[in-house]
Homo-oligomer: A and B are copies of this chain.
Amino acid sequence: MEKVKPIKLVKDMKVSELVGQMKGAGFGARKIGRAVEIVEKMFNDSECRVFMGVAGAMVPAGMKQIIIDLIRAKKIDVLVTTGANLTHDLAEALGDKHYHCDTWDDEKFNDEGFYRMYNVLMKNDVYLKLESFVEENWEKFKECGNIQEFLRVVGELVSGGEDSILKACYENDVKLFCPGLADSGIGLMIWGRLAQGKEINIDAFDDMKEIIDFAWTSKKSGVIYIGGGLAKNFIQQSLQFSKGADYGVQITTDRVESGGSSGAPLEEGKSWGNLKKGTKDYVDVNCDATIALPLIFSGVLGKFKNEEVN
């Protein structure tokens, strides 16, 4: 049996050393350490296609660059995220920012023109810029038949601006899906056009063909879930048409016992066939993603052969 080794912190310690030591410790630390190992294995397996699901407000929380760098390093094949994340990503691509707030008064924020997401704020006039952007480029959007195409056009349009997930996916041919796009600021801008009688014809089901085909034809697959929701579930569903994921890392604070897909342990996927029978290369990290995500991927970068990430 393997002994628990107490973590020994040293001055100027690297993150890669810390997460290496974490694997020798217990409880959640152990899981961070295993997540690093599993992600490395997944990334170094040339037959493995990586599906990443990102829920939660990860862009406002300052996590976008980590995802962007993974895309640029060619480590992600499919990215599924929420309309909210892409709206915030687009807002930043168009030059807007998010702001800190360590205490809050929501009625006052409303008076001052701020939307709050826990300890992060966004100015509500961001929507005006988004509206102009959608209006100006409507002719291009009109030709898109599904959400994936729409997002590719957006990515192309912002590829000259500040770095963004949309841009990185476009430039690196990463398949970007957002099944809940209607439920977001971008969706609202499209609705605004429709309400003025403009037309667009984006199919609600068309994207499924591509992600399911991609899952179906994967020799091996790995999943990385940041939060749950639609992003995770859309991947899980597609993988029912695969041989089942060989590797899995899930970061969530949702509870197992409340029975939803978001908090469900990866293990449960073995019953559904989206996690491969027999595999032990999966771990549920029960932690705030803004803490676990940098820790795990900084650890990965520290040992990483592929230099392209930075």
Q: Which A residues lie at the B interface, using CB under 8 A? A: 1-16, 18, 21-22, 24-32, 34, 55-57, 60-66, 69, 84, 97-102, 104, 106-107, 109-110, 114-121, 147, 179-184, 187-188, 190-191, 194-195, 200-209, 212, 227, 229-230, 233-234, 237, 253-264, 267-273, 277-278, 280, 286-292, 294-295, 297-298, 301-302, 304, 307, 309-310
Cα separation A297 to B10 with both chains bound (whole Å)? 10
Query: 16 more A-B contacts (CB under 8 A) besides A2-B99, A11-B307, A179-B180?
Result: A3-B97, A4-B97, A11-B302, A13-B301, A22-B294, A26-B119, A29-B63, A30-B100, A30-B290, A106-B268, A110-B271, A110-B272, A114-B271, A116-B272, A195-B212, A291-B292
In the bound complex, residues from chain B placing their C-beta under 8 Å from that of A97 are 3-4
Question: Which of B26, B101, B187 is the one whose CB lies under 8 Å from A118?
Answer: B26
Question: Which of B61, B69, B301 is the one whose CB lies under 8 Å from A26?
Answer: B61
In the bound complex, residues from chain B placing their C-beta under 8 Å from that of A4 are 60-62, 97-100, 120
Question: Which of B66, B253, B259, B310 is the one whose CB lies under 8 Å from A56?
Answer: B259
Cα separation A200 to B104 with both chains bound (whole Å)? 47
In the bound complex, residues from chain B placing their C-beta under 8 Å from that of A208 are 182, 187-188, 190-191, 194
In the bound complex, residues from chain B placing their C-beta under 8 Å from that of A118 are 26-27, 256-259, 264, 268
B229 engages A28 (CB within 8 Å): no
In the bound complex, residues from chain B placing their C-beta under 8 Å from that of A107 are 270-271, 277-278
Most chain B C-beta atoms within 10 Å of own C-beta, residue among A14, A102, A212, A227: A14
Question: Which of B6, B12, B187, B292 is the one whose CB lies under 8 Å from A62?
Answer: B6
Cα separation A90 to B107 with both chains bound (whole Å)? 41
Question: Which of B55, B206, B294 is the one whose CB lies under 8 Å from A29?
Answer: B294
Q: How many copies does the complex hold?
A: 4
Closest chain B CB from A255 CB (angstroms): 5
Closest chain B CB from A26 CB (angstroms): 4
In the bound complex, residues from chain B placing their C-beta under 8 Å from that of A115 are 271-272
Cα separation A107 to B207 with both chains bound (whole Å)? 30
In the bound complex, residues from chain B placing their C-beta under 8 Å from that of A204 are 147, 181-182, 202-204
A301 engages B14 (CB within 8 Å): no
Cα separation A110 to B293 with both chains bound (whole Å)? 31
Closest to A288 in B: B28
Question: Which of B12, B27, B212 is the one whose CB lies under 8 Å from A257?
Answer: B27
B259 engages A27 (CB within 8 Å): yes
B295 engages A26 (CB within 8 Å): no
Closest to A199 in B: B203
B230 engages A288 (CB within 8 Å): no
In the bound complex, residues from chain B placing their C-beta under 8 Å from that of A256 are 118, 256
